[in-house]
Structure 1
């Protein structure tokens, strides 16, 4: 069996916006959640090992963020655990409930990087999760 982890798109995957890295992270998150529920001690050990190697993307974050804060695309992507490119795609989509407005409004620029408002990023992520759930994802 040859894994298809490097395919850009996967027609069976619930979100067509996810790239291979995003899909892998979602799957890793699922395994982590299952391990944490079954064996929290082993999950904590794995988390500590990954963190000691500089990989912390899978760790749960308790940091609160001001919803009115301006964030770059990279910061926003980290906030909702998606690739930055996904945010740019969301910014190009119309809101499913209000087609006259964008799903994710662009705010401005910081240097060469596009910025968004943190609360709007969280709202867009919630809309996309609801859409995936409604589609059976």
Structure 2
């Protein structure tokens, strides 16, 4: 038996490129927003529990992301909910539409840290989702 939430695509979902994990997280954030409105004390308690386990993805974050904001590999991974290894793979992978450039161009180095631009990280996610669904 395959539950509905395991389906790779859902034609009724607003963004057809979202996978089951992205859809589940969006729904969890919706429930969290309703809990925050109804019982802020319980929401704070649930947030603290999630953070204690290292699960910070449902917590409040800035909604507006400046495209020229510089991010480390770890920050870029957190922004788009992937692993730092995936960010490094995107930085090495050729762009499917233009093999002369990378999916995620490296912007700079800061010591041993590689720096990426937030706008390019978000573009890389969109490129990889489109490639997966074509």
Unpaired runs of at least 5, structure 2: 1-7, 9-19
- Residue 35 and residue 115 in structure 1: after superposition, are their counterparts in 2 closer, same or farther (change >3 A)? closer
Q: Whose RCO is larger (CA < 8 A, sep 6+)?
A: 1
TM-superposed deviation, 1:51: 4.1
Unpaired runs of at least 5, structure 1: 1-13, 15-25
1:33 is aligned to 2:16: no
**So what's the TM-score if we normalise by structure 1?**
0.62
Over the residues paired in the alignment, what is the CA RMSD in angstroms? 3.3
Q: Partners of 1:93 and 1:68 in 2: how far apart?
A: 22
**So what's the TM-score if we normalise by structure 2?**
0.63
Give the secondary-structure state (helix, strand or coil) at the position aligned to 1:99: coil
Identify the residue that residue 9 of structure 1 maps to in structure 2: none
Correspondences of 1:1-137 after superposition (within 5 Å): 27=21, 30=24, 33=27, 36=30, 40-41=34-35, 44=43, 46-47=46-47, 49-51=49-51, 55-59=55-59, 61-132=61-132, 134-135=133-134
